[in-house]
Amino acid sequence: MLIEDGEGFLYPEVDMDVCIRCGICEEICPVLHQGEARVPLEVFAAKNPDEEIRRTSSSGGVFTALAETVLNEGGVVFGARWNEHWEVVHDYTETCEGLAAFRGSKYVQSVVGDTFKQAERFLKGGRKVLYSGTPCQIAALKRFLDKDYEHLLTVDCICHGTPSPGVFRWYMGEQLAKVIGKDGYRFVPCPIPLIPQVDVLAREEGCRIEGIRFRDKKEGWKNFSFAFDLTVGISSTQAKAVSFSYPLRKSSFLSGFLSNLYLRPSCYACPAKNGKSAADITLGDYWGIASLMPQLDDDRGISAVLVGTPKGRVALEATAVELYPVPYEDVRGKNSALTNSCAVPIGRSVFWTADSKSFHQKIKDICRVSFAQRVKRKFRAVLRMSGVKR
């Protein structure tokens, strides 16, 4: 069974009364049995020719192209989506229409649930399967299957780390309170597990959540925003649709995430980076593409695609994705998360110290930017716009 800890993360708890001590859980553990680091066979900058798919994707829309190919061959695609409680869970689809729920980054750790078993059943039945997830999830799937299925395509991502689901509930609770004008409303961060599910919080405030996007491209790919849509006043005849959007530097949740304040502890020493997951394909943002290929920099999203296996190469070539070969060193240099775990920040312990501050105030205090840092950011923004650096 999975138990949520004081930081809002789920951990397995073994019931020793029923455990038969077979050792299988340790045998398939991807942390105890880590893969070998490896260099990709090929690396590309890429984009989906379908502009609508690219618009609704975090980067260049390559995942959808790979998934559509598998589905058109009668296969099944696994990915992360929101459930009815606005929690991130893994699920599968057998239709191209179902891919919309998997598109877009979800900066909350997903619950894998029974999807490893489901994928195994499809594979044993001869169905082609695409399973997408973080590097550690792909490494865990491979350990679980303990067999190299030729008709399994694994796709992971360049992962910064997974934020706490409990912290996200805390943040959304404050956002919903602001919508209905509860001044001074706040949650005390401890204990995180007692914070209700997001859909429950919304109903308590007379709202219904219609959508959440961590990488909204309304202001462009580089200046993405956190956005969510609500129906307000659901208990009255005056219900109305409203949308809220917070640019990257003004979203307290994204600021805390990118400052590494509430990542899962294991993310600070990730066992699956540097190709250790053995994924067939790795996808990520191609930040800094303007310095290498300025003609591609339309600010709508470009993917970095790392081909890990011959199977991955065949799958990529079967799509209509536009591919541009690039040096591995360029992608690695602009995506440190590809090979390196982030350090534990000094502010992490401060964030988890119990007090009466709101989530927003905590992030504001910890991530306070000095005048010198603001000048540096402005300078870097100018360099990004000129294509000199990310």
| pLDDT tens figures, 50-98 | 999 999 999 999 999 999 999 999 999 999 999 999 999 999 999 999 9
Farthest-apart Cα atoms in the chain, separation: 63
- Inter-residue long-range contacts of 24-30, CB under 8 Å, 24+ positions, other chains counted: 28/140, 28/143, 28/144, 28/146, 29/143, 30/136, 30/139, 30/140, 30/142, 30/143, 30/271, 30/272
Q: Which residue has the higher pLDDT, 241 or 184?
A: 241
Give the mean model confidence (pLDDT) for residues 209-233: 94
End-to-end CA distance of the chain: 43
Whole-angstrom Cα distance, residue 98 to residue 283?
Answer: 20
Q: Residue 318 to residues 41, 254, 315: CA-CA distances in angstroms?
A: 17, 35, 5
Residue 43 DSSP SS3: strand
What residues are paired with 13 via a beta bridge?
Answer: none
Which pLDDT band, with edges at 50, 70 and 90, does 266 fall under? very high
The reported pLDDT for the residue numbered 139 is: 97
At residue 212, φ and ψ (nearest 5 deg) are: -135, 130
Angle between helices 115-124 and 135-145 (to 10 degrees): 50
Which pLDDT band, with edges at 50, 70 and 90, does 183 fall under? low
Whole-angstrom Cα distance, residue 39 to residue 155?
Answer: 16
Whole-angstrom Cα distance, residue 87 to residue 68?
Answer: 25
Strand 88-93 versus strand 76-82 pairing type:
antiparallel
Which pLDDT band, with edges at 50, 70 and 90, does 382 fall under? low
On the question of pLDDT at 185 being above 60, the answer is no
Record the pTM: 0.91
Whole-angstrom Cα distance, residue 169 to residue 164?
Answer: 9
Cβ neighbours for 245, distance < 8 A, ≥ 6 positions apart: 216, 218, 225, 226, 227
Give the mean model confidence (pLDDT) for residues 368-388: 55
pLDDT tens readout for residues 228-254: 999 988 777 778 898 999 998 899 999
The reported pLDDT for the residue numbered 379 is: 58
Which pLDDT band, with edges at 50, 70 and 90, does 371 fall under? very low
Asked if the bond preceding 40 is cis, omega within 30° of 0, the reply is no
